[in-house]
Amino acid sequence: MVEERSLTGKTILVTGGAGFIGSNLIHYLLENYSEIKIINLDKLTYAGNLDNLRDVETDPRYEFIQGDIRDRALVAKVIPKVQGIIHLAAETHVDRSILDAGEFILTDVFGTFVLLDVARQIGQLEFFLHVSTDEVYGSRETGYFSEDDALNPSSPYAASKAGADRLAHAYWVTYRLPVIIVRPSNNYGPYQYPEKFIPLFITNALEGKTLPLYGTGENVRDWLFVEDHCRALELVIKKGKIGEVYNIGANNEIPNIKVARQITQHLGKSEDLIKLVKDRPGHDQRYALDCQKIRRLGWAPQVSFEEGLQRTVEWYCQHEEWWRKIKEKSSDYRRFYKQYYQDR
Ligand SMILES: NC(=O)c1ccc[n+]([C@@H]2O[C@H](COP(=O)([O-])OP(=O)(O)OC[C@H]3O[C@@H](n4cnc5c(N)ncnc54)[C@H](O)[C@@H]3O)[C@@H](O)[C@H]2O)c1
* First-residue to last-residue Cα distance in the chain: 53
92 lines ligand 1 (CB under 6 A): yes
**CATH code, domain carrying 37:** 3.40.50.720
Answer yes or no: is 108 within a domain: yes
18 lines ligand 1 (CB under 6 A): yes
Identify the pLDDT of residue 343. Answer: 66
pLDDT exceeds 80 at position 2? no
Answer yes or no: is 199 within a domain: no
Identify the pLDDT of residue 336. Answer: 83
Half-sphere exposure of 16 (CA within 13 A, CB side): 22
Name the domain count of the chain.
Answer: 1
Q: CB count, 10 Å around CB of 233?
A: 24
Answer yes or no: is 52 within a domain: yes
Answer yes or no: is 140 within a domain: yes
Answer yes or no: is 20 within a domain: yes
Answer yes or no: is 187 within a domain: yes
What is the per-residue pLDDT across 130-184, written as a single tens digit (0 to 9) for each?
Answer: 999 999 999 999 999 999 999 999 999 999 999 999 999 999 999 999 999 999 9
Provide the domain limits for residue 298: 10-193+223-254+284-304
Residue 255: pLDDT band by 50, 70, 90 thresholds? very high
Closest CA to ligand 1's atom 5: 186
d(CA 292, CA 312): 27
d(CA 287, CA 139): 6
Express the helix, strand and coil content of the chain in percent, nearest 5 each.
45, 15, 35
What is the per-residue pLDDT across 108-131, written as a single tens digit (0 to 9) for each?
Answer: 999 999 999 999 999 999 999 999
325 lines ligand 1 (CB under 6 A): no
Q: Which residues pair with 130 in a beta bridge?
A: 87, 181
Answer yes or no: is 333 within a domain: no
- The minimum-distance atom of ligand 1 relative to the CA of 45 is 37
Question: To the nearest whole percent, how much of the chain has pLDDT over 70?
Answer: 99
- pTM as predicted: 0.97
Is-catalytic flag, 148?
no
Answer yes or no: is 313 within a domain: no
Is-catalytic flag, 135?
yes
What is the per-residue pLDDT across 186-221, written as a single tens digit (0 to 9) for each?
Answer: 999 999 999 999 999 999 999 999 999 999 999 999
Q: Among residues 33, 62, 157, 337, which one is catalytic? A: 157
131 lines ligand 1 (CB under 6 A): yes
Identify the pLDDT of residue 329. Answer: 83
